[in-house]
Structure 1
Amino acid sequence: MTSKQRSYLKGLAMNIEPSFQIGKSSLTPEFTEAIAEILEKRELIKINILKNCADDGNVLARMLSERTRSEVVQVIGRKIVLYKPAKDEKKRKIVLPE
């Protein structure tokens, strides 16, 4: 992903509300599966890390990215933004700049 594409996705992510919250139980297989499903539908999601979660945001973002085969757009404080293009090109809502 180029810096121009990442910047474009950051701009889009500013206007969306967090879809999930990571709490004390951190990343469970069910949580990861739910994120993978919603990524397929929405392509771009924001995740909020609650204060009772002891894990580092960058580590969580990297783990989620690997498990869902998505891209980490950004990690700011306790918020993670992930992007994964839809498999079917006809269903893609987000068109990245070249």
Structure 2
Amino acid sequence: MLTSKQKRYLKSKAHHLKPIFQVGKGGVNKNLIQQVWDALEARELIKVSVLQNCEEDKEEVAESIADGAKAHIVQVIGNTIVFYKESREKKTIELPS
């Protein structure tokens, strides 16, 4: 579980990032979760955009992806979700304690 201090730090790191995945009409599926897992292993911090035509609620989308990819939800802002997961091999982000 992330502390509020760690979330603040990650939000500032994620500010300049562009969303690298979009969740649309198809919703969350195994393929999307696997791609998010791989991206988090490579980058540790990513943004996912929820499109207008997505039938699921953005909070549900965030929970589904976080559960499937074993990631932390940093924030849901507008239609964008920020995820964090510590990389096993390419650790670059040092969280404050």
Task: Quickly name the TM-score band, shorter chain normalised.
Answer: over 0.9
Show structure 2 runs of 5+ residues with no match.
none
CA distance in 2 between counterparts of 1:30 and 1:48 reads: 16
1:31 shift after superposition? 1.0
Post-superposition, which runs of at least 4 consecutive aligned residues in structure 1 deviate over 2 A? Answer: none
For structure 1, which runs of at least 5 residues remain unmatched after alignment?
none
What is the SS of the residue equivalent to 2:75?
Answer: strand
Q: Give distance in 2, aligned partners of 1:32 and 1:67.
A: 6
Q: How far does the alpha carbon of each residue in 1:21-68 deviate from its partner, in whole angstroms, 9 at most, with x for none?
A: 001001111111111111100000000011110211111111111111
Q: TM-score, normalised by structure 1?
A: 0.94
Tell me the SS of whatever aligns to 1:58.
helix
TM-score, normalised with respect to structure 2: 0.95
Alpha-carbon separation, structure 1, partners of 2:85 and 2:28? 19
- Is 1:63 paired with 2:64? yes
User: Counterpart of 2:17 in structure 1: which amino acid?
Assistant: I
CA distance in 2, matches of 1:73, 1:8: 10
Q: Shift in Å at residue 87 of structure 1? A: 1.3
User: Cα RMSD (Å) of the superposition?
Assistant: 0.8
